[in-house]
């Protein structure tokens, strides 16, 4: 209690590095599309450029053409990581930047950029964790059906081995895709991310082909003697709004689609039966034959966690229509409920039911707020509290012997938050998108203090 009161007074955390094992790593995460500037350095078009330029898809019609201009400011951004005392940095490589026009001719500027970026991390004593796909699918692959097309999975494996041949010997960890639920369901069923489809057949195919892409990429990376390879999945703590049978059933379906589908395929070579009841007639023929490819052995699993979801049935006949209702917990500026116990529940559940001794990382966790700079400072006390409370849950899990090896906060910088454009700020560092000035927030300073003690 005293700890929490001190923390609120001083805007600092009530934990420090020595509360964690020596090899536990603290890092921050970003993604290529959200920070680099997709108009810089001869980057090719991705389906996110197409989606963002289509009227009505993003807040204020904002695009990531410039974003944080990290393509030009990367040295300054890496310096911030070192200043904050972080051990590791989770970045992603842009497929559309590396292969702008086709899968044959790589962009020399892109290769040079990622080479320097990785070397820059090593020079600063920061472990590079590389994500091979954080959503910037080249438009020429989207033209051929994107994630609805099995060939995209094959191309992804080629892309993965190409990148690994170039950077692999310098990476501390590599993951195939980030958040397949977003790549497939959010983007092809809910229509909220590129390519903005609302189509059950497209969604069902994407739900499978993104996993196939992961499996084929794992095989390709192993063939390159890849080390420390994983995948990053996102989870929410999903609950029915009450104990009515139809709401319990609706919550179980959402949980199946969101939390179980990808885990069950990778660790148990099957899909949840309640989800298959809804999707099986839209799935690719003989999809079951791909499970041995999908279920490649992993070296680690990354877990992204932000919030909980309270679910109710939305339609008596069509079970895929569900409603989400907020509870009474404090919310972020995006309306996401703040529920630190959820990270504890989810990680324990994954560990016990699926991953057992497999090393785990929290690969994203953080909150959005409408932060403002006042006299060169940003007093984001809500975010300090958010990190503090979630990291305390992580600490308990580590003390209980769960093999959690690190924690990455989302995000180093305020950045292009997809459909929300620049409105929603998740950074430890404030970015003025006009001047590109970076201002460390109090949450950044809280990490700096805790990580140095």
Q: Where does this chain bind ligand FCB (CB under 6 A)?
A: 31, 34, 178-179, 182, 234, 304, 364, 410, 417-418, 426
Whether 158 sits among the annotated catalytic residues: the reply is no
What HEC string does the chain produce? CHHHHHHHHHCCCCCCHHHCCCCCEEEEECCHHHHCCCCCCCCCCEHHHHHHHCCCCCHHHCCCCCCCCHHHHHHHHHHHHHHHCCCEEEEECCHHHHCCCCCCCCCHHHHHHHHHHHHHHHHCCCEEEEEEECCCCEHHHHCCCHHHCHHHHHHHHHHHHHHHHHHHHHCCEEEEEECHHHHHHHHHCCCCCCCCCCCHHHHHHHHHHHHHHHHHHHHHHHHCCCCCEEEEEEEEEEEECCCCHHHHHHHHHHHHHHHHHHHHHHHHCCCCHHHHHHHHHHCCCCHHHHHHHHCCCCCEEEEEEEEEEEEEECCCCCCCCEEECCCCCCECCCCCECCHHHHHHHHHHHHHHHHCCCCEEEEECCCCECCCCECCECCCHHHHHHHHHHHHHHHHHHHCCCCEEEEEEECCECCCCHHHCCCCECCCEEECCCCCCEEECHHHHHHHHHHCC
Task: Give least dist CB 186 to ligand FCB, A.
Answer: 9
Whether omega before 195 lies within 30 degrees of 0, making that bond cis, reads yes
Task: Give least dist CB 177 to ligand FCB, A.
Answer: 10
**207 in Cβ contact with 279 (< 8 Å):** yes
Task: Give least dist CB 3 to ligand FCB, A.
Answer: 28
Task: Give least dist CB 393 to ligand FCB, A.
Answer: 19
Whether 179 sits among the annotated catalytic residues: the reply is yes
Which of the following is catalytic: 62, 236, 255, 364? 364
Q: Round to whole Å and give the CA distance between 232 and 219.
A: 17
Which of the following is catalytic: 36, 62, 179, 393? 179
Which residues belong to the active site? 179, 364
């Amino acid at each position: 209690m005293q700890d929490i009161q001190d923390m609120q007074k001083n805007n600092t955390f009530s934990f420090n590095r020595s509360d964690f094992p020596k090899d536990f790593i603290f890092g921050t995460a970003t993604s290529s599309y959200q920070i680099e500037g997709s108009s810089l350095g001869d980057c090719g078009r991705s389906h996110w450029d197409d989606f963002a330029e289509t009227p009505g898809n993003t807040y204020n019609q904002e695009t990531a053409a410039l974003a944080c201009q990290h393509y030009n400011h990367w040295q300054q951004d890496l310096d911030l990581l070192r200043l904050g005392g972080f051990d590791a940095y989770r970045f992603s490589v842009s497929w559309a930047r590396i292969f702008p026009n086709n899968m044959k001719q790589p962009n020399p500027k892109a290769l040079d950029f990622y080479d320097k970026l990785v070397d820059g991390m090593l020079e600063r004593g920061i472990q590079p964790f590389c994500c091979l796909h954080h959503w910037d699918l080249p438009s020429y692959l989207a033209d051929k059906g994107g994630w609805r097309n099995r060939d995209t999975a094959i191309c992804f494996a080629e892309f993965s081995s190409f990148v690994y041949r170039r950077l692999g010997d310098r990476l501390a960890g590599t993951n195939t895709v980030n958040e397949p639920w977003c790549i497939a369901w959010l983007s092809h069923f809910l229509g909220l991310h590129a390519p903005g489809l609302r189509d059950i057949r497209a969604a069902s195919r994407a739900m499978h082909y993104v996993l196939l892409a992961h499996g084929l990429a794992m095989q390709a990376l192993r063939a390159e003697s890849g080390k420390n390879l994983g995948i990053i999945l996102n989870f929410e703590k999903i609950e029915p709004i009450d104990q009515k049978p139809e709401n319990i059933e609706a919550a179980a379906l959402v949980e199946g689609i969101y939390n179980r589908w990808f885990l069950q395929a990778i660790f148990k070579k099957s899909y949840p039966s309640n989800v298959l009841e809804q999707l099986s007639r839209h799935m690719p023929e003989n999809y079951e034959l791909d499970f041995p490819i999908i279920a490649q052995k992993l070296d680690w699993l990354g877990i992204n966690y932000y919030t909980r979801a309270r679910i109710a049935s939305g339609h008596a006949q069509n079970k895929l229509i569900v409603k989400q209702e907020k509870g009474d917990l404090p919310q972020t500026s995006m309306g996401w409920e703040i529920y630190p116990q959820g990270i504890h529940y989810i990680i324990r559940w994954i560990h016990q039911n699926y991953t057992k001794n497999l090393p785990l990382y929290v690969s994203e966790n953080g909150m959005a707020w409408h932060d403002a700079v006042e006299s060169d400072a940003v007093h984001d006390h809500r975010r300090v509290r958010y990190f503090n409370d979630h990291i305390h849950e992580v600490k308990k899990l580590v003390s209980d012997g769960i093999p959690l090896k690190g924690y990455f906060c989302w995000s180093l910088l305020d950045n292009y938050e997809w459909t929300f454009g620049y409105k929603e700020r998740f950074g430890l560092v404030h970015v003025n998108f006009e001047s590109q000035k970076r201002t460390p927030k109090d949450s950044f300073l809280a990490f700096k203090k805790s990580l140095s003690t």
